[in-house]
Structure formats: structure tokens, C-alpha cells
Structure 1
Amino acid sequence: MYLFVSGSFALRDVKLTIPAAVERGKQAKLHCNYDMEGEPLYAVKWYKSDREFFRYTPLDTPPYKQFLTPYVHVVQNLSNGSFVVLDNVALETSGKYSCEISADAPSFFTIDASGILQVVEVPKEGPIIKGLKSRYRLNDTLKAECTSIKSHPAANLTWFVNDFQVDPVHLRRNRAHLSPDGFYSPRLGLRLLITKQLFVNGRLRIRCLASMHDIYTKSSEVSVEIEKPKYRYKTTPMPIFQWEDAQPAERYPHTTHVYPGVRSKAMSRYPHFLCYKLNNMRNRIFGNICNKT
């Protein structure tokens, strides 16, 4: 807020620099920068939500003065006319902060600047990836979910495939789970069609990154493989041919020796060569004849 009075300005370029976020339990350093243009400084006053908690007056002894404010603990020996350091910040320390610069006589100009301090609780571990399989076939749909456990506020989640950020069309943002103690566990789903171009040397790298401003960054990575197709060779059965008038196979191989029988008196009526020939042909009728007495 700028106050206009007659005459020239004795103050200008008042700026308040506040970290974008501070981790719970650590220190926060707020910087109030200004140019007095040769005018004497009367006081620097610090406020949280319009409530003064610290004052620096160089002409007073001592020059520091604190005012009791919940969740605001000033490190006095590290604070001066330009800086104020807050120790052991809590989530409740978050809020609007202002520094007010006042010039001494004769101008008595006063200018202030304001900003927001955010205290965060970072996750105790990295993000967790669930739902991935070790192998995928072409044209399969990869489905995975990344979860960051307990933070305040919710951590930002980002998917990467082979170090390239995934297009939002492949993301499924689920509602963050809020625990009874006020911490968030955000979830971000991934749906990706498996194509050959996604794989490098047969592998696909999936990474989920969880971040909170510039004070917390952790990631988890999983690699999956492409499943090679399994070829099944089909065998065609040989046709069975039925030949007409087919002859049965020989009972014995061709190397079987056939020995002629010895002619007896009962066979004297028939020539020896005839009986031998008939026995070789296995003719029952003639066999009976040959054996006839």
C-alpha cells in the first residue's frame, strides 16, 4: 500500500521475499527489501494476518521487540531491519505476512508489502506404483496407478515413459484420500496402449514423480518387457489310403526259410514235388489231400 503526501517520496522499491514453501519443523527466512533514499529509518514492523509479531526500531534500546503470536517464533539474533527468521514452523504458521517500513521525521512515509508463506508436510517415502505387469503383448492396454502417501497439501504427481512426460489424455486423476489427521494421499492413473515404438531394446521404462514446490522431489521407476509371440506349428496328419483288393502283410519277413517236409509212405500216391508245392501255398484243401493216408 502506498501513501501519498505532498512533496517527494523518501521510500521506494519496497519488496517482500518469501519462500514458496517451507518444510514443517524447519526455519523460514523472510526478506523485506527497501530503499530509504537517504532518509533515516524509523521502524520495520512485521505482521501476520494484520497482527504485529516483531518490530525493529534502530533508535530504541534494545532495537528488537516481539509480540506473542501463536505458531510464530522469531529467532531474534538472526533477525534485523531487513530479515526476520521464523523457527520450527508448523502448518499453522502458514498465512499472510507483511512488512511495514516507516521513515523518520520529517517525511514519516510508510510503505508496506505483503506475501503468503506456506508450510508443507512432505511425504515420508517416494511414490508407489501399482498395477503393472512384467510383460505385455502388442495392443495390450497398460494400466497403472501412482500414489503419494500422506502430505499436506497433496503432492503433485507426474508420469514419464522413457523419460518423456505422458500426455494428459492417457491420465486418470483419482480423488485424493484424506486421512483423519488432515494429510492427503493423491492418486494418478495411467492408461497406455502398448505399441512396438514404446520399447527400447525390448524394454519400456515407466516412472512416477512426486514433487512439492522445490523442496521435495522423489520418483519410482519400473521396467516392463514386451512379450514375444509364441508360434504353434500345426502338423497335418498323413492321409490313409484304402486300396482295393489289398493283400495282407506277410506274417514273416522274406528272410524266413522254408524247409520241405520229408515224404512218408502215406504220401507215396502223390509225387513229392506236388506236395511240396501245395504246402508252400498253404492250401488247406490240398494240404488235407497230401496228409491223407
Structure 2
Amino acid sequence: MDDQKLHSVKWYRDIHEIFRYNPSQKPPIRLFNITGIMVQGGDCQKDSCMVRVMPPPIATRAAYSCEVSTEGPKFQIARQTKHMTVVAMPDKDPIIIGAPKLVKPGEQILLNCTSDYSLPPSDINWYIDNELAKTELWQRRELSAPQPGGLRASWRVLRVAVPTTASGSLRVRCEAILPVEPPVVRDAITTITVYSRTQLSKYIANRGTYIEYKASGLIVLIWTFREISKFLSL
């Protein structure tokens, strides 16, 4: 098309025309605002045309097409399309709430993972010791009310039943995934210690000795105070 006389250059968002350049018209540039998008301006040089748009403040995916046509007698048309997704990235990693430092075998715990505000809102997955956790139907993702600009936080709970034979520790990871291409992943990790029956018995025994020592110290202190009182009354 290099040897053909230019007729027009047009920009489209999906099926809607938003920009037109026709060098034979006055003015040569026309802008078309459509619902949900503001066309802020455009400019054409000898071999290129640029258009500036303000996308809507919500998660969107749209096709932008540039169409170039020539004058007769050939009236050739060339068109190219690219897709663009508008997102707002989360500023912080997700947060795990409700994780105890110590659990007993057979105990059940309820965890909550909350992601930062983003657009679109993040999907959430749970992993226990690097394996995807199986969740129940009621443990689906929940969303906050939309904030200015359409941003939302998301959260998801997980009920963990600690096996009766478990010992050592559980590594729990919450993964917040922004569903775009390519996906944006942020995570949070917590480690929960699981005491075996032997370790738990030692732990309780140590605590009992400590409490008994404190009680003995209290008795000695009271006895000493009584002795001092007797001494002062002499």
C-alpha cells in the first residue's frame, strides 16, 4: 500500500469507531466518544496515527483495531487488532487470619485469607504442605463491596482438620491470583506446629512445674510477711 494515496485511518474499540483521520477533509481528525470510554485526542504523522483514550474505571477487556484504506482505483484496506485488559494491581500480599502457633493432633482450626483490593478481584487458593487444599462448598470466595474505581477485596476461609497421627508442623499457604494474562500471583505463608502426644505431655509437665514453682514462691512470700509481722509486734 506504500504507493497508494491514503484515504483514511480509523481506530475502533470493539465494533465502535472512536477515531478517524481523513487528510482530504477539514478538519482532518474526528473523535467519537462512546459509552464507557473517553477519547482524549489523537495525532497523525506521515507514517503513523496515535489515539489517546481513557478506559472505564472497571475491569475491561476490549479489542482495539486500526484500519487503513487507500483511494481508488484499488481501494485497498489493511486492518490489525490487539486486545487490551484494564486492571488495578494489589499493593500488598494477602493476609492469613486465625492461624494458631500450636495445635494438637485431631484438632480443627478455621483460617481466613484476605486479599488486597484489586480490579478484577483476586481468586484465592489454599495449599497445605504444597498440596492444593480441598475446600467445602460453603468455603467459596467472598467479595467486599466495591470501592471507588470498582476495586474489591476478596477472602476465603479454610477449615483444617489436623490428622490424629500428625506431628511436626503444617505449612499453610494462601495464594491470591489476579485473573489476567499472564496471571499475577501474591501469597502468604504460615507454619503451624503440631505437638505429638509425647511432646504435649512434656509441654504440660513443664508448665505444671513452672506453676508449682510460682505457687511455692507465693507461699514463701506470705510466710515471710507473717514472720515479719510477728517480729514487729514484739
TM range (shorter): 0.5 to 0.7
**C-alpha offsets along residues 75-116 of structure 1, whole Å, 9 cap, x if unaligned?**
7589x65x8575775526946434253443334254756665
Alignment partner, residue 119 of structure 1: 86
- Displacement of 1:198: 6.7
Among the aligned pairs, what percent are the same residue?
20
Report the counterpart of residue 235 of structure 1 in structure 2.
Answer: none
Code of the residue aligned with 1:52 in structure 2: it is E
For 2:138 and 2:172, the matched residues in 1 are separated by: 13
The alignment partner of 1:118 has SS state of: strand
Q: Is the 8 A contact 1:143 1:191 kept in 2?
A: yes
**Residue in 1 aligned with 2:13?**
48
Unaligned runs of 5+ in 1: 1-35, 233-293
Larger radius of gyration: 1
Cα gap change, 1:100 to 1:166, in 2 (>3 Å): same
The answer to whether residue 91 in structure 2 is matched with residue 91 in structure 1 is no
Structure with more of its chain in helix, by fraction: 2
Partner of 1:222: 190
Residue equivalent to 2:152: 184
Answer yes or no: is 1:140 the counterpart of 2:104.
Answer: no
- Whether contact under 8 Å (1:39, 1:103) holds in the other structure is no
> Are the aligned partners of 1:49 and 1:95 in contact in 2 as well (CA < 8 Å)?
no
Other-structure match for 1:206: 172
| Structure 1 residues 207 and 52: CA distance shift in structure 2, 3 A | same
Per the TM alignment, residue 203 of structure 1 is displaced from its structure 2 partner at its CA by: 1.9
Secondary structure at the counterpart of residue 109 of structure 2: strand
Amino acid at match of 1:138: P
Q: Normalising to structure 2: TM-score of the pair?
A: 0.61
> TM-score, normalization: structure 1?
0.50
1:67 to 17, 31, 35: 31
Match of 2:121, SS state, is: coil
Aligned partner of 2:169: which letter? Answer: R
Q: Is the 8 A contact 1:146 1:208 kept in 2?
A: yes
Question: How many pairs does the alignment contain?
Answer: 189
| Cα distance change of structure 1 residues 168 and 46 upon mapping to structure 2, 3 Å threshold | farther
Change (3 A) 1:93 1:185: closer
Q: Is this contact kept in 1: 2:166–2:196, CA < 8 A?
A: no
